[in-house]
Structure formats: C-alpha cells, structure tokens
Amino acid sequence: MEFFTQSFQWEGLVRLLIQVAAVLLCLTVHETCHGLAALALGDPTAKRQHRLSLNPLRHLDPLGTLMMLVAGFGWAKPVMIDPRYFKNPKAGMAVTALAGPVSNFLLALAALLVRGVVLAAYVLSEGSGLLGGVISFLETVAVLSVGLGLFNLIPFPPLDGSKVAEAFLPDRIYFQILRYERWGMVVLVLVLWTGLLDVPLAAAQQWVLQWLVQVGNLPYFALMGLLG
C-alpha cells in the first residue's frame, strides 16, 4: 500500500480534478446565462425545462465537454429558445446568444480578480499549498472560460456567433440558414478535427487573456502595496 501511494501520480489527479471542475463551471455559467437572457426577454422555455440551474449535469453535452477538456474549446447542451416570445425574434435570438460568451468573459475576469487577491495571500503566507491549488483552479477557469467564449463567437451555426450574425441578414437568407443549421455541428466537428481553428483560436485566447490578466492583477498589486 505504501508503494502504491508513493508511485501514484497524485499531482496529475489533482490537475485533472481542477480542470474538470473548471469546465463544469464554465459550461454551467454559459448555458444558464442563455436561459436568463431569454427569460428577461419574455421566453420562459429554459425555465420550464429547468435549465436555469447551477447543476452542471443539466447542461453537459458529452462531446462538447470532452473537447473542452482536450482542446480548451467546446460546447454544452444548447438551451432551447422559442423566438415567438420575443418582440423582435432575430434581435432576441442575437441578444440571447450573445449572453453566453459575454458571461464567459465576465467569469474569466472575476476569476482573475479573485486570483489577484489569493495570489497576494499566497505570497504573504510564503507559499500555502491550499492557496496554490485555488490559484491553479482560478487560472484554469479563466483560460477555459475565455476559450469557450471565443469559440462560441464564431459565426457558424449552431454556435452563438451565428445567431448574432443572422440578426443582420435579410429574412430570406436567415430562414434559409435555419433549414440547414442541424448539419452545422457535423461540419464544425470535422473542421475541429482538422485543427484549422487551433492557431487562430489560441492566438485570440492569448490576446484576450493578456488584457484580462492586467486587470486581474490590480488587486494583487494593491494588496501587496498595503501589506507587503
């Protein structure tokens, strides 16, 4: 038993658990905010289907969750939206779609701001192991949340970005796209498999994170100036 505990890669297990927890949080916030935006615009469908929930099991898509873990970009089970409840269906769909990626960017910023506070405590405590784990979790949340937000802004159906782009299209083209939207995910998975999006998505992710980290570090510098 002692040999097992010494040889088992506990550090790898902890990293995996942190990543899984971060993925669940990012996906749950994303989909819940879709539902909240739809409800605010008059559509109760997500509420009726119990999708306004912080229970991640209500939102998981197996393939999308796996992609988040493997590639850092993925998706959850789509929240059902009924545009007939909206005064302006196309605009309502665009706002509802945009709520998901925006929530991910805000979540990333919140995680990095909290990280700034925890990082100051970590330095002042001379390297607490528990605080180090919290920092790792917050950094993982920020990275994955930005990745999820950017990926979903791609203007290709059925991703959120397509709903935003479609709001500016003539009705004839809009309804034509809706007819073939169900095939979009098949095409998207094939494109992801080829790796064509890896470089531009990674570059965009790094650029956004650089800006967010600068803001997120403000609490750290403020606290270190006061207490350091």
Catalytic residue set: 31
- Report the interhelical angle of 218-227 vs 198-216 (nearest 10°): 30
CA distance 206 to 186: 27
3-state secondary structure 112-163: HHHHHHHHHHHHHCCCCHHHHHHHHHHHHHHHHHHHHHHHHCCCCCCCHHHH
CA triplet 171, 176, 177: central angle to 5 degrees? 100
> Hey, how many other C-beta atoms are within 10 angstroms of the C-beta on 183?
11
Is residue 27 within 8 Å of residue 79, measured between CB atoms?
Answer: no
Give the C-alpha separation, 53 to 227, whole Å.
39
Q: Are 131 and 118 in contact (CB under 8 A)?
A: yes
The whole-angstrom separation of Cα 181 and Cα 175 is: 10
